[in-house]
Amino acid sequence: SRGANQKSGGGGGGGGGSLEEPIRSQDSRARRRGGSRQDKLGATSQRERRTPAAREWDPRQDLGSLRVRDHHRSSPVHVHYCILATVEISGTDSGSEVKSYLVRLLTYLPGRPIAEIPIGPQLLYEIGRLAAKLDKTLEKFHHPKLSSLHRENFIWNLKSVPLLEKYLFALGQNRNREIVEQVIQLFKDEVMTSLSHFRECINHGDLNDHNILIESRESAFGDAVYQVSGVLDFDDMSYGYYVFEAAITIMYMMIESKAPIQVGGHVLAGFESVVPLTPVERGALFLLVCSRFCQSLVLAAYSCQLYPENEEYLMITAKTGWKHLQQMFDMGRKAVEEIWFETAKSYESGISM
């Protein structure tokens, strides 16, 4: 479902991605828009450009046949089996010939990415509910390898924000760097010392507008009503905290919004309709949203130094991200929190702001 960069640790089930390993260069918003697959820190993979049409076993025909289906479809894809398997098939029409095929098994989820439509307050609320319900559901998830989601030093876990210091040189000396340095220091002083007070859970970690699917239905008034229908891309799953998921979701919903500061309140209202945040978690939300902006923007800038030919692709989030981060800092925590919390509170009376 990711269709682009690989990162250290081999994804959600591959253990911790340390900084000694290559990291992926950008969030999947950029990777989905960028087209061709990126490997490591943004180098275009020759293998992806040569990928043939996927072959699918057709059970309606005899065991010796395969039919070819073009896997380049407009419908978002969920990779059900993310490895390539070699299959030997006998009993073909020509006799007992045995051949080997590379088979890729895919399932397609209904809906389209929310990036393709304008996102209003009600949909933001539903996305917040989705984020909380997903983490809540994962509480019941059991697997023998579940411990591998304790990904120590995984650069895209919000707990790893202090590790960004290694990449600050990519920003040069400017206001952007000054803001990031402030965020990192505040993170060390306020968030790292509060982690024991946050409620732990498994985070999806990448609920951006290209990873959430929606379907439309016609309302009684004849207009289109959108409903969340699916989630893609579980490659960033790791143990984190409920408030991390809320912050990551708010940040990604801000990116393309024409009123980014107002976004947080609607997402928060939806999230808290399922998992109300504690006062300590609420107090960290502003800083956590800023921190996620920093993760995306710093690592994109670092990748651009390694692969300048991919700058347009890598800097998708940066087109608005720096502006939104600066706006949050200019307004200040108290003013932004007031907007978020008052908007969230308005849902309690059934009238959203």
Please list the active-site residues: 206
> What is the token pair recorded at 17?
């991605």
β-strand partners of 113: 213
**Secondary structure of the chain in the HEC alphabet?**
CCCCCCCHHHCCCCCCCCCCCCCCCCCHHHHHHHCCCEECCCEECHHHHCCCCCEECCCCCCCCCCEECCCCCCCCEECCCCCCEEEEECCECCECCCEEEEECCCEECCCEEHHHCCCCHHHHHHHHHHHHHHHHHHCCCCCCCHHHHCCCCCCCCHHHHHHHHHHHHHHCCCHHHHHHHHHHHHHHHHHCCCHHHCCEEEECCCCCCCCEEEEEEECCCCCEEEEEEEECCCCCCEEEEHHHHHHHHHHHHHHCCCCHHHHHHHHHHHHHCCCCCCHHHHHHHHHHHHHHHHHHHHHHHHHHHHCHHHHHHHCCCHHHHHHHHHHHHHHCHHHHHHHHHHHHHHHHHCCCC
As a whole number of angstroms, the distance between CA 123 and CA 114 comes to 9
For residues 203 and 131, is the Cβ–Cβ distance under 8 A? no
Neighbour count for residue 173 (Cβ, 10 Å): 9
- Angle between helix axes 121-138 and 242-255 (nearest 10 degrees) is 150
